[in-house]
């Protein structure tokens, strides 16, 4: 007997509308090729034809048990009190706090949480419980493999997981100002 | 002991060599004993900008290899006795540079000169790292366009990570020169403003240089713009040089559009 063990990144998508799903998937094809799609809901023949034509791997309506939360409990925090500049790449298992800006062309990848006090124009990939940041015009945010491309520039967001759902909240002071404006 | 300023950009073609030549002349005009070193091994240009291409016999690689003494390779700038030039090799490539040899040449220059300007190669490969490794300060030259800003941001990051001073836990001073500012485009919102650029890079502004057609002619004739009283860019380089020499020089607004004499007269008629 020979056993091969792999770690697979799974992206779970609930399909409610065939066209909406295809609109979501088409621009993200290069990214999605790195994932096993676990499709839930109505997986139509048109959807299956499309996925097969583009070489995407998928399973249908499968319950997958995850141990994501149990693994993450003992991480520490990395604090960066400097600008994270273009070309810099930070890969870590720890939570990341950036006290200054993350510039365009910088990449921070963490399996844990992320907080930036300065504006984020770089790319953030985080898989922890939450993100807090101020979105810059060029910021690209990926949370649990989901590209969050409808965030508004200049707003401060808290993005977190609740029952495995991604919740996006805008944070404001009581007077309506952004909390990081001053 | 002199101060080493590395002039860097990240992206090529932003006016780094022109800036190096003009600032070197500018500090020499302020009475400072100055040398400008072309570190762009294999692609030397600074000799032409300074009008010294016919005078280059020995270059920095000859000095590093011990073929000649430093004094033999230093070329005096005829228009100012305080300025000397050390050329790059045109026939070799950047692989000839090594840290020990570069340090030896630069420490000799530091003993002889007050201001040492290094014209770093564009990009961020090994030649660039040698050019910034021993820097006391870097002068970042950018054009008001996004690609130039992002590449410069990367170059600053490399200075912070890899220069000798940074590795010793000291701070490398970083100054910004915004070159080729076109007031019309800034006013129309088609060109990044100085505020936008400073907001991204967050380093100290040393000066702003306007777009100036005279620079092309100056480069082709080997007569740098700082020597031309009619050139707006030349006047900007003079102000920057004075700042480098420790003088408090107010910043001039070069981003607002200046109206011609006729337009001014017409405006006055309606006031």
Question: What is the residue extent of each domain of chain B?
Answer: 3-269
pLDDT at A74 over 70: no
- Cβ neighbour number for residue B214 with a 10 Å cutoff: 15
Query: A83: which chain B residues are within 8 Å (Cβ-Cβ)?
Result: 202
State residue B122's pLDDT score. 87
Residues A82 and A126 in one domain: yes
Percent of chain B surpassing pLDDT 90: 75
Residues A51 and A117 in one domain: no
Q: Which residue has the tokens 């031309």?
A: B228
Residues A33 and A115 in one domain: no
Query: A86: which chain B residues are within 8 Å (Cβ-Cβ)?
Result: 150-151, 153-154, 157
Residues A37 and A75 in one domain: no
Residue A2 within any structural domain of the chain: no
Residues A75 and A56 in one domain: no
- Are B87 and B47 spatial neighbours (Cβ–Cβ below 8 Å)? yes
β-pairing, B75-76 with B83-86?
antiparallel
- Cross-chain CB nearest to A104 (options B124, B150, B156): B150
In this prediction, residues A83-102 reach a mean pLDDT of 95
- Among B57, B185, B31, CA closest to B115: B31
Is A54 near chain B, with CB under 8 Å?
no
State residue A66's pLDDT score. 62
State residue A145's pLDDT score. 87
β-pairing, A146-147 with A140-143?
antiparallel
Q: Which of A39-43, B96-100, B204-208 has the largest mean confidence?
A: B204-208
Distance of CA A158 to the CA centre of its chain: 13
pLDDT band at residue A168 using 50, 70 and 90 as cut-offs: very high
- Cross-chain CB nearest to B153 (options A82, A85, A100): A85
Residues A117 and A158 in one domain: yes
State residue B259's pLDDT score. 60
Is A161 near chain B, with CB under 8 Å?
no
Residue A181 within any structural domain of the chain: no
State residue A63's pLDDT score. 84
Structure token digits, residue A131: 């993100």
Residues A75 and A156 in one domain: yes
- Among B92, B93, B102, CA closest to B131: B102
Count Cβ–Cβ pairs < 8 Å, chain A vs chain B: 30
What's A28's DSSP letter?
G
Residues A76 and A54 in one domain: no
CB contact (8 A) between residue B157 and residue A101:
no
Mean pLDDT across chain B, nearest whole number?
91
Tell which wins on pLDDT, B125 or B187: B187
Residues A103 and A51 in one domain: no
Residue A179 within any structural domain of the chain: no
| Interface test mutation site (partner A, options B129, B145, B153, max chain A beta carbons within 10 A) | B153
Of A102-106, B36-40, B148-152, B261-265, least confident by mean pLDDT is B261-265
In this prediction, residues B19-35 reach a mean pLDDT of 98
Tell which wins on pLDDT, B40 or B259: B40
pLDDT at B42 over 90: no
β-pairing, A130-135 with A156-162?
antiparallel
pLDDT at A104 over 50: yes
State which residue of chain A sits closest to B197, comparing Cα positions: A103
pLDDT band at residue A101 using 50, 70 and 90 as cut-offs: very high
Residues A56 and A76 in one domain: no
Q: Which of A63-67, B9-13, B153-157 has the largest mean confidence?
A: B153-157
In this prediction, residues B71-90 reach a mean pLDDT of 95
Residue A3 within any structural domain of the chain: no
- Are B174 and B156 spatial neighbours (Cβ–Cβ below 8 Å)? yes
- Are B26 and B240 spatial neighbours (Cβ–Cβ below 8 Å)? yes
State residue A70's pLDDT score. 43
Residues A50 and A81 in one domain: no
pLDDT at B92 over 80: no
Domain of residue A52, residue span = 10-60
- Are A137 and A181 spatial neighbours (Cβ–Cβ below 8 Å)? no
Query: A87: which chain B residues are within 8 Å (Cβ-Cβ)?
Result: 124, 153-154, 157-158
Structure token digits, residue B52: 């010294």
State residue B267's pLDDT score. 55
Please write the tens of the pLDDT for every residue from B156-193: 999 999 899 999 989 899 999 999 999 888 888 888 99
Residues A44 and A76 in one domain: no
Which residue, of A60, A81, A102, is where some domain finishes?
A60
Give SS3 for B222: coil
- Cross-chain CB nearest to B154 (options A87, A100, A101): A87
State residue A174's pLDDT score. 67
| Total number of domains in chain A | 2
State residue B68's pLDDT score. 95
CATH number for the domain spanning A101: value is 2.160.20.70
Closest Cα in chain B, distance from residue A155 (Å)? 17
Q: What angle do CA B17, B21, B26 make, to 5 degrees?
A: 145
Query: B153: which chain A residues are within 8 Å (Cβ-Cβ)?
Result: 85-87, 103-105
Please write the tens of the pLDDT for every residue from A20-48: 899 888 887 877 887 889 999 999 999 99
Q: How far apart are CA B242 and CA A132, in angstroms?
A: 45
Architecture label for domain B3-269: 3-Layer(aba) Sandwich (3.40)
B115-119 sheet: strands from edge to edge: B75-76, B83-86, B34-38, B115-119, B3-8, B137-142, B173-181, B204-210
Tell which wins on pLDDT, B124 or A177: B124
């Amino acid at each position: 007997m020979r056993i091969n063990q792999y770690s697979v990144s799974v992206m779970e998508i609930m399909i409610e509308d065939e066209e909406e799903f295809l609109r979501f998937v088409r621009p993200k094809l290069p990214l999605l090729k790195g994932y096993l799609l676990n499709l839930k809901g109505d997986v139509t023949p048109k959807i299956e034809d499309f996925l097969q034509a583009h070489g995407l791997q998928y399973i249908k309506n499968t319950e997958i048990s995850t141990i994501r939360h149990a693994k993450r409990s003992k991480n520490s925090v990395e604090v960066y009190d400097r600008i994270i500049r273009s070309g810099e790449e930070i890969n870590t298992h720890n939570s990341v706090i950036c006290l200054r800006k993350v510039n365009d062309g910088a990449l921070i990848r963490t399996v844990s949480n992320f907080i930036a006090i300065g504006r984020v124009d770089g790319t953030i990939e985080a898989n922890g419980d939450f993100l807090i940041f101020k979105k810059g015009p060029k910021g690209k945010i990926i949370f649990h493999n989901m590209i969050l491309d409808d965030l508004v520039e200049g707003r401060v967001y808290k993005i977190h997981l609740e029952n495995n759902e991604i919740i996006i909240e805008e944070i404001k002071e009581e007077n309506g100002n952004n909390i990081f404006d001053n | 002991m002199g101060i080493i300023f590395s002039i860097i950009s990240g992206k090529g073609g932003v006016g780094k060599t022109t800036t190096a030549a003009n600032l070197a002349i500018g500090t020499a005009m302020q009475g400072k004993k100055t040398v400008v070193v072309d570190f762009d091994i294999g692609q030397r240009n600074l000799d032409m900008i300074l009008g010294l291409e016919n005078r280059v016999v020995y270059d920095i690689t000859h000095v590093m290899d011990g073929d000649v003494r430093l004094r033999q390779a230093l070329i005096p700038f005829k228009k100012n006795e305080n300025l000397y030039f050390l050329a790059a090799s045109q026939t070799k490539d950047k692989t000839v540079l090594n840290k020990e040899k570069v340090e030896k040449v630069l420490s000799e220059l530091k003993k002889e000169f007050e201001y040492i300007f290094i014209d770093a190669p564009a990009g961020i490969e090994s030649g660039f790292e040698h050019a910034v490794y021993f820097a006391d300060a870097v002068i970042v030259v950018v054009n008001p366009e996004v690609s130039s800003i992002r590449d410069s941001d990367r170059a600053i990051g490399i200075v912070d990570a890899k220069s000798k001073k940074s590795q010793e836990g000291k701070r490398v001073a970083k100054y910004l020169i915004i070159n080729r500012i076109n007031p019309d485009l800034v006013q129309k919102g088609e060109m990044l403003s100085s505020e936008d650029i400073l907001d991204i890079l967050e380093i100290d502004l040393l000066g702003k240089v306007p777009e100036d057609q005279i620079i092309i002619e100056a480069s082709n004739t080997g007569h740098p713009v700082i020597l031309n009283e009619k050139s707006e860019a030349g006047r900007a380089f003079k102000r920057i040089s004075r700042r480098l020499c420790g003088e408090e020089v107010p910043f001039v607004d070069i981003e607002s559009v200046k109206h011609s004499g006729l337009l001014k007269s017409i405006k006055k008629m309606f006031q």
